Structure 1
Amino acid sequence: MPKILSIEELLPLTDSIKLIDVRSPAEYELAHIPGAVNIPIFDNAERREVGIKYKVGGRDNAVLLGLDFVGPKMSDFVRQARQLARNKQVMVHCWRGGMRSASMAWLFETAGLEVFVLKGGYKAYRQYIRKQFSRPAEILVLGGYTGSGKTEILQTLKASGEQFLDIEGIAHHRGSAFGTLGQEAQPSNEQFENNLADAWRKFDHNKKIWVEDESRQLGKCGIPDPLFQQMRQAPLIKINIPKPIREQRLVKEYGTFDKALLKEQIEKIKKRLGGKNTSEALSAIDEGDILRAASLSLAYYDKAYDFGMSKRDQKKVITLDLEKDDPAENAEKIKDFLIKN
């Protein structure tokens, strides 16, 4: 008999035992447990047919149809599972720990593998991770105007041993209208939450966790409310770097992109940038004057950031003036600043 594991028991094992998701490809592609491999018991069309048969003809007829679909594929399922197995062990889950995972577990056990099944399936996993974002943590937020190099500073802190939840990296979005440029395609919001939770659960929650000051929404990915509320209530170190230096950073980051792409992003903030500034920014891009376009864009982003900062508890905001765009040096200055304060 397969061993039934709770989600709390299963997740620590995912580094040593391969987790097999037997849901349909469409279910898996929408979102899955990080690290899980898809061996679908039904393809998308088969799953639809079995579902229709269940509604129209009842459970017994649906089971028979499912067997017709699965029969010819059983040997291939076993071959795939054996290739994935470590020490002849695999873990299996479906949507809610029902017939699909039970059937695959029986098949893999029959083929000589030791099988663990996730109790409650993927649904239990989703319920679990939502609760994890409410888990109290010592969060420390790094804030500052656009172009301050915050992400690179945080990555430097991470390299020195600090814990950094890279929300923008997980979302594949830099958090502005230009946020998708040069990034991989964004995951679904559900997959974003899964990936975020996977990073979150691996931290030592007795030590501080750094995050970058973010809006709730990064493109199509939204920060889960319990985590976002913790971020908004946490102490924030706001770094101030002179605007001309920040403009130069934006030129380096975005100046190599196609002009049409840059203009498309400017159009996204047209209403907030204003007609005159939008027209000037578009003209500047056409003329190759990316510095001018960056300056006009920062006028909007700085104002928007000030508005967001005004909603924070100012007693929890600490300001640090920095003179250069040097992530390594600035990371050291932030660490020294924290020690002294």
Structure 2
Amino acid sequence: MTGSGKTKILHQLKSLGKQIIDLEDLAQHQGSSYGTLGKLIQPTQEQFENNLALALSALDKNQRTWVEDESLTIGKRSVPNPFWHQMRNAPVINIEVPLIERIRNLVVEYGKLDKEFLIESTQRIGKRLGPEQTRDAIIAIRENRMEDFIRLVLVYYDKTYQSGLTKRNKENVFSIELESANIAAKAERILDFTGTLTSLVKHSAE
């Protein structure tokens, strides 16, 4: 979910020797209406696909590769269909992080951004957020009440994320609660969890 620290966990997994593909880094966008977050201009679609192909070519096909569960489009760039379909058919680890921690993470991330950028980004999702929530979120931004702003937009993003999960094969979705705020501990917990799942699969096949 938004604010759960997925990207930091992904790179912590890399530091532990696991294979990753960071689509948001390759696309120079974090995937939401607020996704530019002061980053550089996105690469062209062709360059994005070339960068992804280069990253994929460096992987060991016999090892698991960790990828964030992105939508088909990341900003103005589209994930190539073959890789997208492979992602959609892969197991999903749904990490559940306490709401207050997610809000704190996003306050740190969004709080340093230009207010007009935040307002424009909020207006872009206004139809889906709803007129009252959009108005209240913009007022909160102007009054520098970042926690209130984050709470309002998280309602929309959480609904969107949950809706996406319902479209996945439920047998491929595995939820895990991560209560520790420590990124290293979260990564280790996920590895332990997936190791258990692998053992269960092997056991059931015997």
Match of 1:303 in 2: 159
Partner SS state of residue 181, structure 2: coil
> Cα offset for 1:318?
0.6
Amino acid at match of 1:322: L
Aligned to 1:319, the other structure's residue is in SS state strand
How much is the aligned-residue C-alpha RMSD, in angstroms?
0.8
Supply the distance in 1 between the matched residues of 2:181 and 2:149 (Cα, whole angstroms): 20
Query: In the aligned structure 2, how far is the partner of 1:283 from the partner of 1:162?
Result: 43
* Structure 1 counterpart of 2:145, from 280, 289, 296: 289
Corresponding residue number in structure 1 for 2:82: 226
In structure 2, the partner of 1:330 is 186
* SS of alignment partner, residue 146 of structure 1: coil
Correspondence for 2:169? 313
Name the amino acid aligned to 1:327: I
Residues 1:278 and 2:127 aligned together: no
Letter of the structure 1 residue corresponding to residue 9 of structure 2: I
- d(CA) in 2 for partners of 1:295 and 1:324? 21
One-letter amino acid of the counterpart of residue 223, structure 1:
V
Instruction: Give the alignment of 1:27-46 within 5 angstroms.
Output: none
Residue among 202, 207, 211 paired with 2:63: 207
1:108-147 maps to which residues of 2 (within 5 A)?
Answer: 145-147=1-3
Q: Using the TM superposition, give the Cα deviation of residue 310 of structure 1 relative to its aligned residue in structure 2, in angstroms.
A: 0.6
Query: Shift in Å at residue 252 of structure 1?
Result: 0.5
- What CA distance in whole angstroms lies between the structure 2 residues aligned with 1:179 and 1:233? 25
The alpha-carbon deviation at position 179 of structure 1 amounts to 0.5
Map of 1:247 onto structure 2: 103
1 CA distance for matches of 2:117 and 2:50? Answer: 30
What secondary structure is seen at the aligned counterpart in 2 of 1:186? Answer: coil
Q: Is the 8 A contact 1:217 1:223 kept in 2?
A: yes
Tell whether the 8 Å contact from 1:175 to 1:214 is kept in structure 2 after alignment: yes
- TM-fit CA distance, 1:338: 1.6
Structure scoring higher RCO (CA < 8 A, sep ≥ 6) equals 2
Aligned position for 1:129: none
Aligned length in residues: 197
Tell me which residue corresponds to 1:87: none
Report what 1:46 is aligned to: none
Q: Does 1:187 align with 2:37?
A: no
Of stretches 330-339 and 273-282 in structure 1, the one that deviates more from structure 2 is 330-339
* 2:12 aligns with one of 156, 163, 185: 156
Given residue 193 of structure 2, which amino acid in structure 1 is its aligned partner? Answer: F
Counterpart CA distance in 1 for 2:105 and 2:78 is: 26
The DSSP-based 3-state class of the residue aligned with 1:318 is strand
Provide the rounded CA distance (Å) in 2 between the counterparts of 1:165 and 1:253. 22
Whether contact under 8 Å (1:156, 1:331) holds in the other structure is: yes
Cα distance, 1:282 vs structure 2: 0.2
> In the TM superposition, what whole-angstrom CA distance separates every residue of 1:227-273 from its partner, at most 9, and x where no partner exists?
00000000111100111211111100010111111111101100000
Give the Cα separation in 1 of the matches to 2:83 and 2:148.
37
Deviation, 1:328, is 1.1
- Mapped to 2, the partners of 1:340 and 1:208 lie a distance apart of 15
Q: Could you list the per-position Cα deviations for residues 268-298 of structure 1 after superposition, in whole angstroms to 9, with x for gaps in the alignment? A: 1000000000000000001000110000000
| Superposed CA offset, 1:29-55 (max 9, x none) | xxxxxxxxxxxxxxxxxxxxxxxxxxx
Could you say which residue in structure 2 is the equivalent of 1:269?
125
Distance in structure 2 (CA, Å) of the matches to 1:181 and 1:335: 29
